[in-house]
Each structure stands twice: as structure tokens, then as C-alpha cells.
């Protein structure tokens, strides 16, 4: 087993991995950019090293600096987390060349699955069900012919894509040329690769993924599915496991296909095979994420397994300590991604200092977080602050526990998307499991049932400040409306205070 691991990441995932290292008796090494000097992962680590400016290319994406820290700290392995260098085959190969174990798949497996077109070609040869479309990037003329064959609408996708970049929905032939140019241009800017391919667009699909684990001795298992259909602009927002529509037989079929995908790629360590599922419950291979997923905690809760522990053990050469028949799914889990962004202002990022933090707890609640009261959220990186996860015996109990926890959660000083999750969890269609990848767009297009609620935040902030000032000026004793010149009587003041206290509890 390794004695020391470097975590090539930041934020909540770095804290998550550091905790696993401590549980396993492994020393941890953190890295940080200039703006992350006071971040939580730096405080938790056994050692911490600066790696440069806030710009990711000068710090968290700099392979040379990461390997230099590994050498200076004498770390034997590097865990990349997710994002940044986690799916970079050059980094995986550079680690191997430097004699440092990369906790993830090989560079060759990452290369194969990192390109959507190469992955489609390999999966087609392996007999994996695919969405009709092209197995390689196409020029405009070829794309127009294929689109006519498979029928509109179609989806254009960047071969090297991810996170919704380089994707365009085309509903008619007249839209194809402009969408093609836009997708190729965006893909080139985002990934340095303008290759674009085509897939038939599946109307109102569900996005369901399967967690797989593979050791370095030839054993591969699947750990159940995750429902990831609650998305905004192709970015996951809320995930749950198991899926409301997947039964034991469908789970077995999807799991066996996912194992076949991993084995065809020569894959080792933790990975996720993603599927689109149509309204008839037919499923199609979409892509494979060659890393630990943001939503891995929901799988941990329903299986009782620690995926980070298993990642480390696999990388250290150990065999999986269980077989497929040993994997049991119990209960239901659901995760909310808490972002520093303002849902009422087109989800605009909301960096700044966290002035007050009230965190949820109680039965069935887990919180993976990278923030603390007094910390300043930087503008330079993805705005993910924390993940709030609930576990229950069934989906209904999980939803109610998560609703309760969200009402206990309060982050002062910045905007977050916590109110959005309260709205999602109150929605009758969500409660009934009637969701697809267009659910959130439809929800946001509808007016809220209680529009006054969304205005409570600013009112509460002003009210809380006023009452804090009044309380301090009177030694904490009650202040009558008359003493403060309030001609409207006590009712209005009481309402303000009630709203302020209500929001503070949240």
C-alpha cells in the first residue's frame, strides 16, 4: 500500500480524497494556487505545496508542476479527482514515465474512451447498442446526407467533448450549416479539436449511467445505475440511485453492457458508462467517463462501498475484494450539487466571502464540502461548493429528508442554487419520478406556485441586519415599534422578523 498520495485537485473532491487517505493511514499532499492558499483542502492535508497563479493552466493543469511536487514530497501515487487533469492521457502517461502511480485507468484506455468517435467505433465492434449516427467526425456534406438518412432532429457533438460544449441540436436541414460551424468552432476553442460527429436526437430521453470497477487482474463489476436526467445545458444538477424506472432485469442488462464496454477498452480502476434511455426503455451507449464522478456518493450509500478506498487499493495492485454476486443495493440516495451561482440571474456565478454558514445534519444526511464560514469563493474555477446527499429506505423518504436538509442549509454572503433544489423537490412530476433531460428546462419556464417566496432572501438579509443593529443598541431587549418611529404598528415588524428568522434557519 502507498505511504503518501498527492491529490492533484482542489475543493470538495480534494477534501473527500484527503479524508479517505487519512482513514487508510496514508499521508496526503495537497497543492494550491495563489487564490486557494486558505482553502479547506489545504487545511486538511498533511503537506501542502503552492503551484502558481490562479489561472488553471499555470497551476492545476500544469503537468510539470504536479510531477515536481510529487518528486519533492516523495509521493508514490497521484489521485486526480475529477476535472482538471483527471481525463488527460498525457498526464497519466507522464506519471507512469516518472514512476508515480496514476490512480485511474491507463493512458491507452483513456485515449480510446476520451474520443467519442473512437469510443463509438470500439463499442460498435464490441456489439454495444449505440444511438444511430456516425462513428467518426464528418464534414458538412457528409453530415447533411447522414442526417437525411437517420431523420431529423439530430444532435451534433464534439468528438473530444464534455460538459455540453460543442453540442448543437438541429431540428431541420435549414439549421444544419450554422449549427455545424458553431459546434466546430466551440469544440476547437474548448478542446483544441474541432472534430464533430452526428447522432440521432432521442426525444425526451433519460440520462442513466452505470458505475463500474475493474482491478488489474481481469475482474470487472458493475455497482448499479445512477439517474442523471436533471440537467441544465447538458450539465448534471441532481442525481439519484437507483433510477425510478430501472428494475432488476434492466439493471442486469445495462450492467453487463457496461462491463463489456470497460473490458473492450482494457479499462482498470473506477469508471462510468453513460447511456441514453428512450421512452420505451431502450438504452444506448453514450460515452464513458474515465474517472471518479461528482455523483459517486449516491452509489456509495446504496452499496455500502467506499469508491475512493477501492480506487486506491486497485492502483496499489490489490484484487477486488468481492464478486458481482456480492454487490447488493439497499435503499435510495439522492445528491444536490450546491453551486455559488444565482438561479434568479440566469445562474450567474456568485463569488465572494461566506459570511454565515449553517449546515444540515440529522438522519440520512451526508455533506461533502469544500467551504467554510469566512472563506472567500474565488471566481477562477468551477463554482461547485459542496454536495448534499440524502439516504433513505425508499425514494419518498429520501426526498423528504433532502427537503428537510435543504431548509436547514444557509450560505450567507453569496448566492447559491439551494432555492432551486427546494423547488425541484416540491414538484409533483419529480416526486412521481416522471423526469427526463428536459425536465429542468420545463420547470424553469413555469412560474413558481408561490412567487413571494423567492423575494424573501433580500428581505431577510435587510431585516436581519436591521434587527441585529436594533438588538445591539438596546442590549438585546425587545424594541417597540413606537421607539423606532414605526407608525404601521407591531404587525409589520413582526412579519419582517419572522421572515428573517425563517431564512436564517434555512
Residues assigned a catalytic role: 291
CA dist list (Å): 54 to 14, 85, 272, 384? 17, 16, 30, 16
The answer to whether 416 touches 350, Cβ cutoff 8 Å, is yes
The residues, ordered by sequence, that sit 6+ positions from 57 with a Cβ below 8 Å of its Cβ are: none
Whole-angstrom distance, CA of residue 117 vs CA of residue 113: 9
The answer to whether 109 touches 265, Cβ cutoff 8 Å, is yes
Q: Which three cell numbers stand for residue 157?
A: 457533438
Count of residues making up the chain: 506
Sheet with 47-50: list strands edge to edge.
Answer: 47-50, 27-32, 4-7, 77-79, 101-102
Whole-angstrom distance, CA of residue 139 vs CA of residue 145: 10
Whole-angstrom distance, CA of residue 458 vs CA of residue 454: 9
Q: Where are the beta strands (DSSP E) in 97-205?
A: 101-102, 154-158, 168-170, 196-200
- Burial (0-12, 13-18, 19+ Cβ within 10 Å), 248: exposed
Whole-angstrom distance, CA of residue 49 vs CA of residue 75: 12
Sheet with 235-241: list strands edge to edge.
Answer: 283-289, 269-277, 206-214, 220-232, 235-241, 332-339, 384-392, 365-369
- Burial (0-12, 13-18, 19+ Cβ within 10 Å), 449: exposed
Q: Taking CA 114 as the corner, what is the angle to CA 112 and CA 115, rounded to the nearest 5 degrees?
A: 80
Residue 326: count of CB within 10 angstroms of its CB: 10
Nearest alpha carbon to residue 329 among 365, 311, 304, 309 = 304
Helix axes 89-97, 63-73, angle to 10 degrees: 30
Nearest alpha carbon to residue 89 among 105, 78, 100, 76 = 105
Please identify which residue in the block is written with the cell numbers 507522464: 94
H-helix or E-strand spanning residue 222: strand 220-232
Q: Taking CA 426 as the corner, what is the angle to CA 420 and CA 431, rounded to the nearest 5 degrees?
A: 120
Amino acid at each position: 500500500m502507498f505511504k503518501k498520495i498527492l491529490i492533484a485537485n482542489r475543493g470538495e473532491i480534494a477534501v473527500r480524497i484527503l479524508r479517505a487517505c487519512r482513514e487508510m493511514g496514508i499521508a496526503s499532499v495537497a497543492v494550491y494556487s495563489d487564490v486557494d492558499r486558505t482553502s479547506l483542502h489545504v487545511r486538511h492535508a498533511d503537506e501542502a505545496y503552492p503551484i502558481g497563479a490562479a489561472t488553471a493552466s499555470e497551476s492545476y493543469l500544469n503537468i510539470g508542476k504536479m510531477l515536481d511536487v510529487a518528486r519533492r514530497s516523495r509521493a508514490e501515487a497521484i489521485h486526480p479527482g475529477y476535472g482538471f487533469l483527471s481525463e488527460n492521457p498525457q498526464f497519466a502517461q507522464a506519471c507512469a514515465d516518472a514512476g508515480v502511480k496514476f490512480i485511474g485507468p491507463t493512458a491507452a484506455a483513456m485515449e480510446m474512451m476520451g474520443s467519442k468517435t473512437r469510443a463509438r467505433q470500439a463499442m460498435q465492434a464490441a456489439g454495444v447498442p449505440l444511438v444511430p449516427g456516425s462513428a467518426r467526425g464528418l464534414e458538412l456534406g457528409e453530415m447533411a446526407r447522414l442526417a437525411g438518412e437517420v431523420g431529423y432532429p439530430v444532435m451534433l457533438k464534439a468528438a473530444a467533448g464534455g460538459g455540453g460544449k460543442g453540442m448543437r441540436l438541429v431540428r431541420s436541414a435549414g439549421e444544419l450549416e450554422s449549427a455545424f460551424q458553431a459546434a466546430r468552432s466551440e469544440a476547437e476553442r474548448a478542446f483544441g479539436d474541432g472534430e464533430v460527429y452526428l447522432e440521432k436526437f432521442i426525444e425526451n430521453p433519460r440520462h442513466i449511467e452505470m458505475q463500474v470497477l475493474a482491478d488489474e487482474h481481469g475482474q470487472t463489476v458493475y455497482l448499479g445505475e445512477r439517474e442523471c436526467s436533471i440537467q441544465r445545458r447538458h450539465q448534471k444538477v441532481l442525481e439519484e440511485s437507483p433510477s425510478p424506472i430501472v428494475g432488476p432485469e434492466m439493471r442486469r442488462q445495462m450492467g453487463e453492457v457496461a462491463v463489456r464496454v470497460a473490458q473492450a477498452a482494457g479499462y482498470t480502476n473506477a469508471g462510468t458508462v453513460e447511456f441514453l434511455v428512450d421512452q420505451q426503455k431502450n438504452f444506448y451507449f453514450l460515452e464513458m467517463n474515465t474517472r471518479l464522478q461528482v455523483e459517486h456518493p449516491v452509489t456509495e450509500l446504496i452499496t455500502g462501498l467506499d469508491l475512493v478506498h477501492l480506487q486506491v487499493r486497485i492502483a496499489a495492485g490489490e484484487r477486488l475484494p468481492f464478486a458481482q454476486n456480492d454487490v447488493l443495493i439497499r435503499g435510495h440516495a439522492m445528491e444536490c450539487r450546491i453551486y455559488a451561482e444565482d438561479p434568479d440571474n440566469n445562474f450567474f456565478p456568485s463569488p465572494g466571502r461566506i459570511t454565515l454558514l449553517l449546515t444540515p445534519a440529522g438522519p440520512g444526511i451526508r455533506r461533502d464540502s469544500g467551504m467554510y464560514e469566512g472563506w472567500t469563493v474565488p471566481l477562477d474555477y468551477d463554482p461547485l461548493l459542496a454536495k448534499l446527499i440524502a439516504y433513505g429506505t425508499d425514494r419518498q423518504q429520501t426526498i423528504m429528508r433532502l427537503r428537510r436538509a435543504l431548509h436547514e442549509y444557509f450560505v450567507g454572503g453569496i448566492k447559491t442554487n439551494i432555492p432551486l433544489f427546494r423547488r425541484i423537490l416540491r414538484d409533483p412530476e419529480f416526486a412521481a419520478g416522471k423526469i427526463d433531460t428536459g425536465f429542468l428546462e420545463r420547470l424553469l419556464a413555469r412560474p413558481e406556485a408561490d412567487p413571494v417566496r423567492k423575494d424573501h432572501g433580500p428581505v431577510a438579509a435587510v431585516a436581519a441586519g436591521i434587527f441585529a443593529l436594533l438588538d445591539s443598541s438596546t442590549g438585546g431587549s425587545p424594541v417597540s415599534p413606537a421607539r423606532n418611529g414605526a407608525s404601521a404598528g407591531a404587525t409589520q415588524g413582526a412579519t419582517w422578523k419572522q421572515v428573517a428568522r425563517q431564512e436564517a434557519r434555512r
